[in-house]
């Protein structure tokens, strides 16, 4: 194992527009220091706005806290931005001459062991490095702080360590087998974009109708199974071969415009921009971004149950995140950020989510005593039979909460727990007292736990017996005691 790193890792973001701002947020919220170099006098404002959106959206994907945020700095001198960096992400406009100039300067000035990556949507590493630069392609997708996909292109000895780093910040590196113009995803997207332009130009559909054709149907399918798995199911019980036999011939019918591209005449640009204004012009770009982020978070969270698609990346990243183990003599059973979706019209965490947080803490506690997924699969579990919540202080979106779990009684079939929810500022925000009964899942009746669970529980109960348990045993409406 390598020695622990005592300093924070650092990324330089060169070009801080739409994509550079997203990269800055992705690194920063995963605990990296971030140094930005962009000559645009508005870059600081724009990046801070992107990061503000990211702070709301990214932690909402996780049931565990992300590392504490790194430090964000802006530099007018490129050498300052590049000092001691581990990763350099170039995201300047898509012009080959400019990329040559910038990547050449980065390859000279960055530390020799730093990854130098370009966000280019279309250029191949051989084109980017034609004048001696040493860049790989790390092509992300907007919003970079939420979508995991990064297409990695370049020499294997450069892409392999880069892939490890990307995984550690919750991304999904897709390493290309060979370089090709526009990599993989943009080739697919361009085919759809090209056909859509024709449909608008020929008056077949408006921009809004094309968007409906995507989001009412195949867009939902694609996020969870992609293209080939979807078509496998579409083939029915006979599967993929049947599907290809049935629909293969249609490919040679003149359904599509193939490689023809409509000319971007002023009339076509006005037609498309005008329809787009009519469709979405009532919302600002920042409002559209927040709507998009909320929707993405909701969809990815829905996929977490099965671990399909992007949610699999979140689950793997979550499992690798470090969490505190103990607090004031008690095990920490949850540590997470409060998402804005947990807050209500009063501007604070809604009562439902105290129980949700406590239920995750109970699940973690059960793992600690050996009543884990394998134990449940073996037919035994604990059922919750009673809970009492005390709401002591307000909790707001973005607060980092920590939950400790104290055993009040762990004898026989009964498991009596006192969860405490602590805010990041050290204030006790709530207690949730819960009684569970050990249950045989087949008989659906209470029964004694197996010996290893009973032993682990009695040991914890003995450890926790001498600790205070303020507020335990209270009932609804009881006056506070002096």
Ligand X SMILES: NC(=O)c1ccc[n+]([C@@H]2O[C@H](COP(=O)([O-])OP(=O)(O)OC[C@H]3O[C@@H](n4cnc5c(N)ncnc54)[C@H](O)[C@@H]3O)[C@@H](O)[C@H]2O)c1
Interface ranges with ligand X (CB under 6 A): 14-20, 37-40, 43, 91-94, 102, 119-121, 139-140, 142
* CB of 18 or CB of 368, closer to ligand X: 18
* CB of 94 or CB of 181, closer to ligand X: 94
* CB of 214 or CB of 373, closer to ligand X: 214
Least Å distance, CB 90 to ligand X, is 8
Kindly report the backbone phi and psi dihedral angles of residue 267, in degrees, each rounded to the nearest multiple of 5, phi listed first. -65, -45
Least Å distance, CB 217 to ligand X, is 23
Least Å distance, CB 107 to ligand X, is 14
* CB of 170 or CB of 331, closer to ligand X: 170
Torsion-angle region of 331 (φ positive above 0: left; ψ -120 to 50: alpha; else: beta):
beta
Contact 420, 393 (CB under 8 A): no
Give me the DSSP letters along 386-451: EEEEEE-S---TT-EEEEEEEEEE-STTEEEEEEEEE-TTS-EEEEEEEEEEEEETTTTEE-PPPH
HSE-CB for 475 with a 13 A CA cutoff? 0
Least Å distance, CB 145 to ligand X, is 13
Give the other-Cβ count within 10 Å of 1's Cβ.
Answer: 3
Kindly report the backbone phi and psi dihedral angles of residue 13, in degrees, each rounded to the nearest multiple of 5, phi listed first. -110, 110
Report the distance separating Cα 394 and Cα 335, nearest Å: 17
Least Å distance, CB 470 to ligand X, is 53
Least Å distance, CB 47 to ligand X, is 9
Residue nearest ligand X (C-beta atom): 17
* CB of 137 or CB of 334, closer to ligand X: 137
Please, what's the largest Cα pairwise distance for the chain?
83
Report the distance separating Cα 192 and Cα 142, nearest Å: 17
* CB of 103 or CB of 349, closer to ligand X: 103
Least Å distance, CB 290 to ligand X, is 17
Give me the DSSP letters along 75-110: ESSHHHHHTT-SEEEE---S-HHHHHHHHHHHHHHS
* CB of 38 or CB of 433, closer to ligand X: 38
Closest by alpha carbon to 30, among 50, 6, 47, 55?
Answer: 55
Give the other-Cβ count within 10 Å of 290's Cβ.
Answer: 17
């Amino acid at each position: 194992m390598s020695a622990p790193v005592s300093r924070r890792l650092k990324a330089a973001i060169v070009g801080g527009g739409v994509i550079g701002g997203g990269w800055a947020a992705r690194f920063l919220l995963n605990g990296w220091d971030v140094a930005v170099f962009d000559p645009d006098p508005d870059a600081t404002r724009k990046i801070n706005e992107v990061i503000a959106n990211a702070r709301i959206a990214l932690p909402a994907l996780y049931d565990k806290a992300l590392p504490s945020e790194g430090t964000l700095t802006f530099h007018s001198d490129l050498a300052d931005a590049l000092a001691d960096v581990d990763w350099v992400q170039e995201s300047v406009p898509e012009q080959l001459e400019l990329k040559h100039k910038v990547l050449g300067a980065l390859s000279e000035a960055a530390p020799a062991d730093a990854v130098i990556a370009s966000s280019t949507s279309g250029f191949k590493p051989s084109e980017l490095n034609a004048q001696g630069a040493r860049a790989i392609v790390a092509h992300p997708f907007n919003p970079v702080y939420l979508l995991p996909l990064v297409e990695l292109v370049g020499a294997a000895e450069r892409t392999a360590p880069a892939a490890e780093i990307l995984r550690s910040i919750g991304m999904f590196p897709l390493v290309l087998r060979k370089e090709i113009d526009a990599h993989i995803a943009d080739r697919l997207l361009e085919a759809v974009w090209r056909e859509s332009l024709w449909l608008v130009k020929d008056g077949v559909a408006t921009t809004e109708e094309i968007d409906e054709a995507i989001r009412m149907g195949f867009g939902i399918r694609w996020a969870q199974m992609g293209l080939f798995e979807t078509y496998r199911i579409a083939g029915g019980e006979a599967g993929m071969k049947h599907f290809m036999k049935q629909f293969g011939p249609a490919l040679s019918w003149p359904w599509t415009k193939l490689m023809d591209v409509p000319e971007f005449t002023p009339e076509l640009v006005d037609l498309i921009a005008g329809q787009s204004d009519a469709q979405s012009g009532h919302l600002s770009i920042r409002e559209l971004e927040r709507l998009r982020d909320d929707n993405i978070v909701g969809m990815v969270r829905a996929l977490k149950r099965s671990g399909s698609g992007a949610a699999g990346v979140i689950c793997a990243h979550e499992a690798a995140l470090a969490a505190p183990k103990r607090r004031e003599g008690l095990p920490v059973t949850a540590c997470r950020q409060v998402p804005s979706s947990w807050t209500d019209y009063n501007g604070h965490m809604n009562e439902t989510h105290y129980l949700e947080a406590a239920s995750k803490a109970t699940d973690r506690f059960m793992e600690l005593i050996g009543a884990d997924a394998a134990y449940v699969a073996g037919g035994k579990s604990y059922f919750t039979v009673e809970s009492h919540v005390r709401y002591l202080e307000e909790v707001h979106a973005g607060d980092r909460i920590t939950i400790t779990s104290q055993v009040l009684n762990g004898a026989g079939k009964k498991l009596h727990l006192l969860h405490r929810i602590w805010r990041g500022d050290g204030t006790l925000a709530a207690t949730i007292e819960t009684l569970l009964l050990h249950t045989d899942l087949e008989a659906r009746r209470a029964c004694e736990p197996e010996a290893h669970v009973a032993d682990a529980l009695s040991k914890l109960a003995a450890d926790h017996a001498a600790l205070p348990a303020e507020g335990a045993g209270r009932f609804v409406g009881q006056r506070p005691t002096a």
